[in-house]
Amino acid sequence: MTATFVFNEINFDDHEQVVFASEPKSGLKAIIAVHNTNLGPAMGGCRMWNYASEAEAVRDVLRLSRGMTYKNAVAGLPIGGGKSVIIGNPKTDKTPALFEALGVALERLGGRYVTAEDIGTSPADMANVAHKTKYVAGLGDRGDPSPFTALGCFVGAQAAVRHHLKRDSMEGLTVALQGLGHVGYDYARRLHAAGAKLIVTDIDQAALQRAQEELNAEVVAVDAIYDVEADIYAPCALGATVNPDTLTRLKAKIIAGAANNQLATAEMGVACREKGILYAPDFVINAGGIIKVCYEYLNTPEDGMDAHVRRIADTLAEVFTRADAEGLPTSVVADRIAEAKFKQ
């Protein structure tokens, strides 16, 4: 791999710094990407994934790092955007020494990047990172951020319903929810309490059974979720589920979910608008978790944290109104709002 490859990568987007960290004794192979620090130190999680190649890992970390800059800026947080990835199998390759080696690499950066858990890593892993650096957040000692992500998604969905369906209530609406992990299930619970009908899918049979029993949810096959007659499609698992194949099948009027990078390509934002679907940009609606993690790391008094998460609804209302007025996809408007905050 050459430097030219990194600079020419489509997601490079003027990253300030990309660090390749290697430590032979522990087996660490990690990439740390710092996208933008105009608003403060870069913050974003550490993902561990069994990437097929180093090039794939580079693509992923650059894409995720850039996304964190936009998410953190639009959420009104005094932090920039960054991300790290560890190349390896999270089920078989984890050791305390591996994460301590990552901590050493972070310490060398002197606070330009602060990490946290992400897919494939846990609060216990972050505790091992913390043995070697203070630049780690979300250690789990002050609660799971998932409920705050779910809260942001719920108030964001309410904002979308008010704008697009001209309704103040979720009562009687049908939501096709994909993914019943920590965030997805909590989001589903809030929707159920508000009177929505749930149609759900997941690969975890235990989660599906729990949703049936506790939330009176209807279960469909994984691929069938795109064909459901629903008012809201809520992607809460993998990214890129809004793509040319699925968009032709979607019957929902609103897309409002917790997953990252929901649009397979930027063109999908235009396609949603042309189809009359209101898309709640993912990095706006799912920012509740990073808001909580940031409050904890900066020791900000938490009495204002719930209100900060609920302001996601106000931000989305602004996005929707501007998109209508300017004739633009909501994804483009959200990008512009973020860029106005972090580009200097």
Cβ neighbours around 205 below 10 Å, total: 9
Q: How many residues does the chain have?
A: 344
Both tokens of 296, joined, read 């904890």
Contacting residues for 219 by C-beta, under 8 A, at least 6 apart: 199, 200, 201, 208, 211, 212
Catalytic residue among 71, 83, 94, 253: 83
Catalytic residue status for 83? yes
C-alpha closest to that of 287 among 309, 306, 270, 304: 309
C-alpha closest to that of 30 among 91, 79, 103: 103
At residue 335, φ and ψ (nearest 5 deg) are: -60, -45
C-alpha to C-alpha distance for 35 and 279, rounded to whole angstroms = 25
DSSP 264: S
DSSP 117: B
C-alpha closest to that of 84 among 132, 35, 141: 35
Residues with a catalytic annotation lie at: 83
